[in-house]
Amino acid sequence: MVTSSDDLAALLDWYAALGADCALDEAPQNRFEETQRQLQARQQARIHAQRPQGQVAPSNPAGPAIVSPSRSKPSTPLPNSPSRSQQKATASSMPGGGAAFATSGNAGQLEDAAARAMHAPTLIELRKALAEFDGCSLKFSAKSLVFGDGNPDADVMFIGEAPGRDEDLQGVPFVGRAGQLLDKMMAAIGRDRSNSYITNILPWRPPGNRQPSLDEQAMLRPFIHRHIELVNPKILVFLGGTAAQQLLGSKEGIMRLRGKWNNYAIGSENSTRNIPVMPTLHPAFLLRTPAQKRSAWQDLLEVAAKLDALA
């Protein structure tokens, strides 16, 4: 029974999680058609995986370019033509690895994802590579590719889980209620989108705002790994358990991970850099559980102190 505004908000969140928010779109979303598009996407991905190495499938038109220019920091040199073994090594060397996913029958798509990510020398090229990648069926049910927002030269990079309805409609990460709270959280430590960079581990919205599957996370892991390498921040902030578990390769929940500094390795075997990582609570969780805002505030104070120390 709904007896208060908090109960009503929780009920609306529950309906949104089930996909009821789709009725608010310009046209109702046909779930049967969506499933068919995803099946066709998987078939296209299998055909692509069977193509000879180096032959790329026809691409879809890329979405809008990144507003901010790519940073000019030096990055790991990219090979001109990585072999299949090099691509596998790249995927498995990332935090969380890709070996478990590769054994599920989608090794070809994972190698394709790793190759496309490796070949992207700038954020603009990485966005283009994602737009042309057909190996994840989420692409065919989402309205927009949600890549990133803010300053790619920033010292701190915030990484969430996946776009929601508002983000899918606008093509920009964290613009809904959770994004508005994130803006306030950043402002509390003197940060905003002019001196921070924001993205998600997945660039496409899962239907009904469901949690991304392990296969979807693993398929797109090479892209977020390369995304981090190209931004090359001084500090990473992982928002929520899904982002923290995937990028840290951990099975612990966010309540155990938050508030403790970790490291995320980027670079080559000969030159590796460890970026300090602070996992914290996702703004969407804080909207549902306001009592946990104190914990998130403590995490942000740690981030602010670390930024001052690294300045």
Structure confidence at residue 103 (pLDDT): 44
Structure confidence at residue 269 (pLDDT): 75
Paired strand residues for 266: 273
Q: Nearest Cα to 249, choosing from 110, 106, 98?
A: 98
185, 296 Cβ separation under 8 angstroms: yes
pLDDT above 60 for 22:
no
The mean pLDDT value for 47-73 works out to 46
Least confident range of 72-86, 152-166, 244-258, 260-274: 72-86
The H or E element spanning position 272 is strand 272-280
| Higher-scoring residue by pLDDT: 21, 175 | 175
The mean pLDDT value for 153-172 works out to 97
Q: Write out pLDDT tens, residues 121-145.
A: 999 999 999 999 999 999 999 999 9
66, 152 Cβ separation under 8 angstroms: yes
d(CA 230, CA 147): 13
Structure confidence at residue 84 (pLDDT): 46
- The pTM of this model reads 0.73
State residue 271 phi and psi, 5-degree precision: -145, 95
pLDDT above 50 for 203:
yes
Q: Write out pLDDT tens, residues 281-306.
A: 999 999 999 999 999 999 999 999 99
d(CA 80, CA 33): 39
pLDDT band, residue 88 (cuts 50/70/90): very low
pLDDT above 80 for 42:
no
| Higher-scoring residue by pLDDT: 55, 194 | 194
Least confident range of 7-11, 86-90, 226-230, 287-291: 86-90
Structure confidence at residue 19 (pLDDT): 46
Q: Nearest Cα to 160, choosing from 222, 241, 214, 91?
A: 241
The mean pLDDT value for 216-220 works out to 94
Structure confidence at residue 26 (pLDDT): 46
Percent of the chain at pLDDT > 70 equals 66
d(CA 116, CA 105): 19
Q: What integer best gives the mean pLDDT of the chain?
A: 81
- CB neighbourhood size of 149 (10 A): 23
Tokens of 18: 């089930």
pLDDT band, residue 271 (cuts 50/70/90): confident
The mean pLDDT value for 86-105 works out to 50
| Higher-scoring residue by pLDDT: 11, 146 | 146
Burial of 191 (0-12, 13-18, 19+ CB in 10 A): buried
Instruction: Name the E strands within 167-227.
Output: 197-200
Percent of the chain at pLDDT > 90 equals 62
pLDDT band, residue 234 (cuts 50/70/90): very high
Taken in order of first residue, the domains within the chain and their CATH numbers are: 43-54+76-310 (3.40.470.10)
d(CA 238, CA 221): 14
The mean pLDDT value for 188-214 works out to 96
SS3 label, residue 277: strand
d(CA 68, CA 142): 23
pLDDT above 90 for 97:
no
Rounded to 5°, the CA angle 243-245-248 comes to: 95
